[in-house]
Structure 1
Amino acid sequence: MGKLRIALIGGLSILVVGAAVVGVRTATFAPANVADGRDVKLAAAPAYDLDAAVRHLSEAAQIRTISNQDPAANDVAEWDRLHAWLASTYPAVHGAMRRTILPNRTLVYHWPGSDASLAPVILMAHQDVVPVTPGTEGDWKYPAFAGTIADGAVWGRGTVDDKGSLVGLFEALDALAKSGFQPKRGIYLVSGHDEEAGGSGAIAAAAKLKAAGVKAIYTLDEGSIVLTDTPVIDGPAIMIGIAEKGYGTLKVTASAPGGHSSMPPAETGVTTLAKAVLAIAGKPFPLEFRGPGASMIEALAAKKGGATRMAVANRWLFGRSLKNRLGAAPTTAAAFHTTIAPTMLEGSPKENVLPQSASALINYRIAPWNSSADVMARAKAAVGSTKVDLAWVKPPREPSRVSSTSSQGWKWIAAAARADAPDAVLTPTLVVAGTDSRSMEPVSEDVYRFMPMHFSLKESAMIHGTNEHMAIDSFKRMIDFYARLIATSTG
């Protein structure tokens, strides 16, 4: 009985100590260092004509700067049309800023600052849009390239991604120029022509800026939004992207003798390929609670409180359960590991012919703590002795670096965003898709990815989808945000 009593006392002591540790960690838990920007004295946005701005977005949406999968199918005259439209619509901008049109039709504008010792800022929005999926044209409430103004919104492909940002920036800059604003800090506006098809324009623009010795204090591009029904808190969150995933597509090829399908061998090229693809997909990268995704969850958990706060504050105890919850939905899981997505297959040109070569494409979005070398090593380990060749379709893009959440650039952006969403949680996040801003890393101290649109999760599905539209109230928020940010950070 004495030994049992001692064991019980020992067990209870461990529980008491454990409970105390959990309680203290929960009570003292705070997210990683994220400056709130409340110490920034924010400049006011100048007056502008919202009705005219809405008409301008409608006009821009009617210009079909469509980036097709095959660049030869692009109508380059539409980019020239957009450039001419910008010049005629925003004469004040073109009077204040020097415009350079690169040979590939990427635009670089520069408004020199009065103090050359101050690092400039870089603002970005791309010109091109994705095509409308063939066969879905009739599903649109209003024609995809009509720029219809109805139901409190401007409807059309690109109104959100990314002509809303492009026109919003021009409206803000135009209003500032008309008001007599003179920046102390230089302003660059970079508008890539092919963000939706690889971003070669932004690469060229970055090379030009680097050759000119530009080193910006921050770069701001598209990427994330103000999400009105954010998971965990079921409320609004200002989500500023501080990094983006890398990108690579792996080609898996199985070679075989081929022949007639009436006399198949025990294993064909297709079955070999299938084994390899299943092996690679069956060895996913583990979820890791780290990086910008972890910073986001910490900020949301601090707001939510209760069991959520306790779990995040005590990952030593609840780590497995937390990872299971994060991995339950693909949209959430993507922020915590490198994803593996088999997307395309190719085999025989005819149903009764055994292929001499069968191949698959596997798309990877690489987490900030991994590299393309990690991806290749994992794929090779997964296929083992299976007779396939592995090769990158083209050189992969490594993950971006992670930008600061305490820098002056972050504070300016946070303050400008908070002005229109004072009760929203401010959080960094990982952008799981790609943006042109990654190319600005050599010429910018920090790179941020944020558009001040207020969207629900359901509404965000229209980006690249059917019935894309920009609500007029969101568009007004964008113009005000850009104007406040530019005036505050460069004035």
Structure 2
Amino acid sequence: MRTANFAPANLADGSDVTLAAAPAYDLDAAVRHLSAAAQIRTISHQNPTDNESAEWDRLHAWLASTYPAAHAAMTRTILPNRTLVYHWPGSDAALAPIIVMAHQDVVPVTEGTEGDWKYPPFSGQIAEKAVWGRGTVDDKGSLVGLFEALEALATAGFQPKRGIYLVSGHDEEAGGSGAIAAAAKLKAEGVKAIFTIDEGSLVLTDTPVIDGPAIMIGIGEKGYATLRVTANAPGGHSSMPPAETGVTVLAKAVLAIADDPFPLELRGPGLSMIEALAAEKGGTTKMAVANRWLFAPLLKRQLADSPSTAAAFHTTIAPTMLEGSPKENVLPQSANALINYRIAPWNSSKDVMARAKAAVGDAKVDLGWVKPPREPSRISSTSSQGWKWIAAAARADAPEGVLTPTLVVAGTDSRSMEPVSEDVYRFMPMHFTLKEAGMIHGTNEHIAIDSFKRMIDFYARLIATSTG
């Protein structure tokens, strides 16, 4: 019988890393600091002109006054768009630096849902052993956690041998132009980091397959593209409709595209993830994954049962917006639909366009991109020194967790660091259940104080170990 290798190839566990200890810090003060940061409304609206720019200035001033030792150790550059780039020089310029990231902006609270929150969304309420409010998880928890770690290290007299860059984008939730500008600045300065770490994945405590904790480190992220489908028609009065209107042509085209999904493929970071989980689970699960030549159809059916899991194994197609006539009794001269794609690492925007064109055939519609597509990121190593440092720091906090790479199906600012970093990783050491992960961008966003402490300790250990 043919048997495939069931363990992820070249997956290092960080066991050969000697971790530095996390320095002392005041957890109660750190919690109050996160509460204060959550009250600063750095909201990225879809239309940037709606943003309250003074809130970013307020956040920058607050960071400087709250973390004086870190600001004394690092130089700060505020880019014209309000993205922050900090640099703590290392004593050995020959050593490649590290880049740590967390963005400043948060998504809006959906209008009319404010009353659904247990505590006001911008109150930063400290209650029930947690800090509540928009951005406490995404991503001010990471931003404040990084500064708490850097402040503690600077206060303790830490002197890095390897340089440290902290990049904090101002508009991750609205396109990430800030991170692009920061990467351009670093590239112009000749920076080539040994690794970058940003948000993206976490410690999932009830991971499918093993029903237990897994340390899920993102080693890549999907691409992003939005397709506009346009049906042009003569228009006219709705009392005298032709056999086909612009709306019916559009509807058929959208259905044709959506009904021709990209197939699930057992490859890439998603495959590495299920290999690691199956190796832990053992039994028939391990056997099935090890013998994909036989059990691939069964595995794909099981993966397809969960949209959140299936997303890691194919390019997804999501019709999201429709636009037709401005009035109910008028036939539109132009009807439009937007279809959002998250592109798997083995596909490209060219593949997406080709599949959409084939699906609509000779339908009288025009296809075009809303914006230039963002291709999938490259896949980072699971055996590099950067991976080992991150894995070791994560395992110190969750020794019972199964270490696994994963694919981030959303987007992060870290993708922009690829030109200036050997590897890019996406991980926050928060402990969440699948249900709790659903509150990100949703109602009642909050971070448990225990998770916040884990985050500070993780960043402090990682920075001290990798640069000390």
For this structure pair, what is the TM-score category when the shorter chain's length is used for normalisation?
Answer: over 0.9
- Residues 1:409 and 2:382 are matched in the alignment: no
Q: Does the 8 Å CA contact 2:40/2:122 hold for their aligned counterparts?
A: yes
Q: Of residues 125, 139, 150 in structure 1, which corresponds to 2:127?
A: 150
Larger Rg: 1
- Residues 1:422 and 2:399 are matched in the alignment: yes
Q: Offset of 1:29 from its aligned partner?
A: 3.7
Alignment partners' CA distance in 1, 2:8 and 2:272: 7
- Residues 1:273 and 2:285 are matched in the alignment: no
Q: Of residues 371, 374, 378 in structure 2, which corresponds to 1:394?
A: 371
Alignment partners' CA distance in 2, 1:176 and 1:143: 34
- Residues 1:456 and 2:433 are matched in the alignment: yes
The corresponding residue for 2:342 is 365
Q: Deviations over 1:368-414 (max 9, x none)?
A: 00000000000000000001000000100000000000000000000
Alignment partners' CA distance in 1, 2:349 and 2:437: 29
Q: Does the 8 Å CA contact 2:75/2:86 hold for their aligned counterparts?
A: yes
Q: Of residues 344, 347, 360 in structure 2, which corresponds to 1:383?
A: 360
Q: Does the 8 Å CA contact 1:31/1:302 hold for their aligned counterparts?
A: no
Q: Of residues 283, 292, 297 in structure 2, which corresponds to 1:306?
A: 283
Alignment partners' CA distance in 2, 1:462 and 1:240: 20
Q: Does the 8 Å CA contact 2:142/2:428 hold for their aligned counterparts?
A: yes
The corresponding residue for 2:14 is 37
The corresponding residue for 1:5 is none
Matches within 5 A, 1:130-141: 130-141=107-118
Matches within 5 A, 1:152-191: 152-191=129-168
Matches within 5 A, 1:8-407: 21=1, 25=3, 29-407=6-384
Q: Offset of 1:135 from its aligned partner?
A: 1.0
The corresponding residue for 1:14 is none
State the one-letter code of the partner of 1:364.
Answer: Y
- For the aligned residue pairs, the C-alpha RMSD in angstroms reads 0.8
Q: Does the 8 Å CA contact 2:149/2:457 hold for their aligned counterparts?
A: yes
Q: Does the 8 Å CA contact 2:315/2:341 hold for their aligned counterparts?
A: yes
Alignment partners' CA distance in 2, 1:298 and 1:335: 14
Q: Does the 8 Å CA contact 2:203/2:431 hold for their aligned counterparts?
A: yes
Q: How many correspondences in the alignment? A: 468
Q: Offset of 1:313 from its aligned partner?
A: 0.3
Alignment partners' CA distance in 2, 1:404 and 1:332: 22
State the one-letter code of the partner of 1:389.
Answer: D
Q: Secondary structure at the match of 1:331?
A: helix
Alignment partners' CA distance in 2, 1:154 and 1:41: 32
Aligned residues: percent identity?
Answer: 86
Alignment partners' CA distance in 2, 1:350 and 1:175: 61
Q: Does the 8 Å CA contact 1:161/1:463 hold for their aligned counterparts?
A: yes
Q: Secondary structure at the match of 1:428?
A: strand
State the one-letter code of the partner of 1:155.
Answer: W
- Residues 1:436 and 2:413 are matched in the alignment: yes
Alignment partners' CA distance in 2, 1:97 and 1:31: 39
Q: Does the 8 Å CA contact 2:6/2:276 hold for their aligned counterparts?
A: no
**Unpaired segments of 5 or more residues in structure 1?**
1-20
Q: Secondary structure at the match of 1:419?
A: helix
Q: Secondary structure at the match of 2:287?
A: helix
Q: Offset of 1:33 from its aligned partner?
A: 1.8
Q: Secondary structure at the match of 2:375?
A: coil
Q: Of residues 458, 462, 471 in structure 1, which corresponds to 2:448?
A: 471
Q: Secondary structure at the match of 1:254?
A: strand
Alignment partners' CA distance in 1, 2:207 and 2:449: 22
Alignment partners' CA distance in 1, 2:183 and 2:8: 34
**Unpaired segments of 5 or more residues in structure 2?**
none
Alignment partners' CA distance in 2, 1:425 and 1:293: 15
Alignment partners' CA distance in 2, 1:425 and 1:151: 29
Alignment partners' CA distance in 2, 1:473 and 1:349: 51
State the one-letter code of the partner of 1:147.
Answer: G
Q: Secondary structure at the match of 1:462?
A: coil
Q: Offset of 1:327 from its aligned partner?
A: 1.1
Q: Does the 8 Å CA contact 2:431/2:451 hold for their aligned counterparts?
A: yes
Alignment partners' CA distance in 1, 2:447 and 2:308: 23
Q: Deviations over 1:420-462 (max 9, x none)?
A: 1111100000000000000000000000000000000011111
Q: Does the 8 Å CA contact 2:272/2:406 hold for their aligned counterparts?
A: yes
Q: Offset of 1:120 from its aligned partner?
A: 0.2
Q: Does the 8 Å CA contact 1:32/1:298 hold for their aligned counterparts?
A: no
